[in-house]
Structure 1
Amino acid sequence: MTEQMQTYGQLVGNDSPPLDIPEAETPYVLVDERRVDRNLDTMAEAAKRCGVSLRPHIKTHKMPYFAQKQVDRGAVGITVAKVSEAEVMVRSGIKDVFIAYPIVVPSKIRRIIALTEQARVIVGVDSQEGAAILEQVAGEAETTLEVRLEVDTGLRRSGVRASDLAAVASFIGACTHLRLTGIYTFRGAMLNGEATDDLKAAGLEEGQIMVKHAETLREAGHDIRDVSVGSSPTGIYAAAVEGVTEIRPGTYIFNDRMQFHFRVAAQRDCAALIVATVVSCPHPDLIVIDGGSKAFATDVQPNTAPLYMKGFGHILESPEAILERLSEEHGVIRLKEGHTFQIGDRLHIIPNHICSSLNLYNSLWLVGTQPPRQLEISARGHSW
């Protein structure tokens, strides 16, 4: 394989840096900063064309370094899921954070209140019970929290049902220490309640549902300023719906195998790879790498709707090979007999889902605009 492993450009484009970092121990995450910058510019320009605000979710990169890049390109702020993620970002200078998650634990709410002394912090809520807890803790602190009401638009996860929307909004509106300024949803690639690859239809439906809900709440007297929607696959389509004010894509910064199978990104737009070493060649049609379920996320299983991808990642050196099995520390790759891979070869793999995969690592290696350097993934593992 030595003759196949010269430059990154030979595999995925001539604009790319050297393929490998010899001092980096495998498995490791390799990120091409030039591709990152192009992806950020593309999304920022698309949001601007649609006349909507961009508030990217940091779940993908979990790093203030990249969050600041997004803000520098016009993002109004960032989105997080956890209070601890917000703390990392605010400590690093990010001044506008939306916690898109129902926060119901008093200790966490008090931490949010402390953050509001340094930044604008918006909090998600999806129930009367949750709103009552926010109201009580904010009242004890003699402060007011800005909140957005989450709406379930078909994912059947968190979010208030449409039939309960008016009642929950009215409850929040009556709270002295809560200020309802918007509604939000996350649905992803869903259409009519099912997974879909018709991203345009899914995004348009998501936007239309949310705009209709916002209009209903305004008619009831609520000051709904923000209608926040959208994932990386559907965000731009939802943004085209008049009345949508904000999109919250996350994966677009790096992209992954899902994104190029959804056809919202090309393989050359995938900025993050997992580099692994071949540690065993036990059978003519199998090789084993030093990355298993502790190196590659398993939340996007092979052969599931709507994409039906084979295996857990796309192997650049051998696109027809299948990373078919993961145990904790072993990745088993099936390929044709007669392959030329050898023990010690390094493979470069685009994971099915980069967000969950990145959270398995403490750091990444960044290349492309400066000499290779290792950066800490500061909010990695921050799940509280």
Structure 2
Amino acid sequence: MMDLQVETSLETLETPCLLINGELVDQNIQIMANIAKKNHVQLRPHAKTHKLPRIALQQMAAGAVGITVAKVAEAEVMAAGGVNNIFIAYPLVTERKIERAIRLSERIELIVGVDSLAGAQRMEQTASRLGHSLQVRLEIDTGLRRTGVLYEQAAVLAAEIAQMPHLRLTGIYTFRGSLLAGKPTLDLAAAGHEEGTLMVQLAERLRAQDIAIADVSVGSTPTAAYAAEVAGITEVRPGTYVFHDRMQARFGVCGIEDCAGSVLVTIVSRPSADLAIVDGGSKTFATDVQPGTDPLQLRGFGHVIGHADALLVRLTEEHGMVELGPIAQAAGLQVGDQLRIIPNHICSTVNLHNSVVLYRGNALERLPVLARGMLE
């Protein structure tokens, strides 16, 4: 952690700069902790959003049992920062990564994901060679068609993994997002209930085969509150909620005013009355959540705070094109003025920045994004 020594206010920061409102982070963390507590499920937030051990520890202090990551390197960073309970929700299939996971499991409580017989066999062989065991969860594809064993094939694979002496199969997990009957939806309650029900039914089927499934882990930020209502769900793994973003506001999970993350940019050019160019482009704002796609049908790449009819409509690497409607034009925006823009997707935006500026009132501190770029 580095204190800001030169900048004394947000207005003096060099741009582009990613800002995080600490008071809103506190609020968002507590709301999700309350949801988990009310539904008697464990909360294991995905750290992909913040990538900061400090915030992970804050989530755990508020009641989270541990955190979720996607990479061994992310787990290593989090463990070095004091996080002692981590789930790598990603299939590990190379010997080196499995070795690193085993070494890490000797220091902290670690769970790893598996979704194939080949991957499980590699884990078993490496764990056997090192004289160690790994706690694993089987990933289930419940419709996203990403990683995960096909739902109808899960029972056979689970039975094979359960027989491996150096793997302890303790649970199943899925990531489904806002899908309902296989299609994107804004009906988050129905989507969450369907996700939870599918996984609970599978867990019951596995237990009937004498496979001791203790953990049934589900839920993204849009669906976590609803999936948690399904009896038999033991854990939810939302991530984006800690900061929120324009995508979550469109889902109705939060209000735009609840978004803790925003990008501070400077207007560098005013080529016409209806256009302002800012110093943040695709190297500053994530572009993975594209405008005009289902189910959200977002317009542009971000919400411009305080200017209702201004829209970040286009990005090149170093330039952001902000279209100005009549109200924004009347505001008299000039070269050198600053804007704050809430990105469509905060998780990928954080990964573009070496540091964030966390602020609470007038107190500012710059935090290096320690797990940024930890891809292996």
2:360 alignment partner in structure 1: 368
Residues in 1 aligned to 2:361 and 2:236: alpha-carbon distance in whole angstroms = 28
Q: Does 2:268 correspond to 1:276? A: no
Alignment of 1:34-113 (within 5 A): 34-113=23-102
Residues in 2 aligned to 1:137 and 1:60: alpha-carbon distance in whole angstroms = 31
Residue 166 of structure 1: how far off its partner (Å): 1.4
- Identity, in percent, stands at 53
Amino acid at match of 2:340: H
Question: Cα RMSD over matched residues?
Answer: 1.3
Alignment of 1:233-312 (within 5 A): 233-312=222-301
2:3 alignment partner in structure 1: none
Residue 91 of structure 1: how far off its partner (Å): 0.9
Residue 321 of structure 1: how far off its partner (Å): 1.4
Residues in 2 aligned to 1:24 and 1:381: alpha-carbon distance in whole angstroms = 24
Q: 1:344 aligned to 329, 336, 358, which one?
A: 336
Pick which of 150-159 and 319-328 moved more.
319-328
Q: 2:136 aligned to 144, 147, 157, which one?
A: 147
- SS of the counterpart of 2:172? strand
1:378 alignment partner in structure 2: 370
Residue 323 of structure 1: how far off its partner (Å): 0.8
Q: 1:113 to 1:370 in 2, by over 3 A?
A: farther
Q: 1:119 aligned to 102, 105, 108, which one?
A: 108
Q: 1:370 to 1:64 in 2, by over 3 A?
A: farther
Q: Does 2:310 correspond to 1:321? A: yes
1:3 alignment partner in structure 2: none
Pick which of 112-121 and 22-31 moved more.
22-31
Q: 1:369 to 1:346 in 2, by over 3 A?
A: closer
Residue 170 of structure 1: how far off its partner (Å): 1.2
Residue 19 of structure 1: how far off its partner (Å): 11
Residues in 1 aligned to 2:333 and 2:94: alpha-carbon distance in whole angstroms = 52
Alignment of 1:129-148 (within 5 A): 129-148=118-137
Residue 318 of structure 1: how far off its partner (Å): 1.3
2:179 alignment partner in structure 1: 190
Residues in 1 aligned to 2:239 and 2:273: alpha-carbon distance in whole angstroms = 40
Which stretches of structure 1, 4 residues or more, deviate above 6 A after TM superposition? none
- SS of the counterpart of 1:151? strand
Residue 25 of structure 1: how far off its partner (Å): 1.1
- SS of the counterpart of 1:372? strand
Q: 1:20 to 1:312 in 2, by over 3 A?
A: farther
Residues in 1 aligned to 2:350 and 2:51: alpha-carbon distance in whole angstroms = 9
1:15 alignment partner in structure 2: none
- Number of aligned pairs? 367
Residue 35 of structure 1: how far off its partner (Å): 0.6
CA deviation vs aligned residue, 1:255-298 (integer Å, no higher than 9, x gap): 00011111110122111110100000112211100000000000
Pick which of 168-177 and 45-54 moved more.
168-177
2:347 alignment partner in structure 1: 355
Q: Does 2:161 correspond to 1:172? A: yes
Residue 22 of structure 1: how far off its partner (Å): 3.5
2:4 alignment partner in structure 1: none
Amino acid at match of 1:208: T
Residues in 2 aligned to 1:350 and 1:202: alpha-carbon distance in whole angstroms = 26
1:13 alignment partner in structure 2: none
Amino acid at match of 2:346: I
Residue 359 of structure 1: how far off its partner (Å): 0.4
The TM-score, its normalising length taken from structure 2, stands at 0.96
Mind listing any 5+ residue stretches in structure 2 that lack a counterpart? 1-6
Amino acid at match of 1:74: G
Residues in 2 aligned to 1:75 and 1:181: alpha-carbon distance in whole angstroms = 19
Q: 1:286 to 1:195 in 2, by over 3 A?
A: same
Q: Is the 8 A contact 2:127 2:133 kept in 1?
A: yes
Residues in 1 aligned to 2:325 and 2:221: alpha-carbon distance in whole angstroms = 34
Residues in 1 aligned to 2:173 and 2:86: alpha-carbon distance in whole angstroms = 14
CA deviation vs aligned residue, 1:101-143 (integer Å, no higher than 9, x gap): 0010110111111111210110000010110111111111011
Residues in 2 aligned to 1:196 and 1:163: alpha-carbon distance in whole angstroms = 23
Q: Is the 8 A contact 2:9 2:362 kept in 1?
A: no
Residues in 2 aligned to 1:222 and 1:133: alpha-carbon distance in whole angstroms = 21
Q: 1:26 aligned to 8, 15, 25, which one?
A: 15
Amino acid at match of 1:93: G
Residues in 2 aligned to 1:101 and 1:133: alpha-carbon distance in whole angstroms = 14
Amino acid at match of 1:89: M
Amino acid at match of 2:36: A
Q: 1:283 to 1:274 in 2, by over 3 A?
A: same
2:218 alignment partner in structure 1: 229
The TM-score, its normalising length taken from structure 1, stands at 0.94
Residues in 2 aligned to 1:69 and 1:367: alpha-carbon distance in whole angstroms = 16
- SS of the counterpart of 1:30? strand
Pick which of 354-363 and 319-328 moved more.
319-328
CA deviation vs aligned residue, 1:317-376 (integer Å, no higher than 9, x gap): 312112111000000111136441100010000000000001000101111167211111
1:181 alignment partner in structure 2: 170
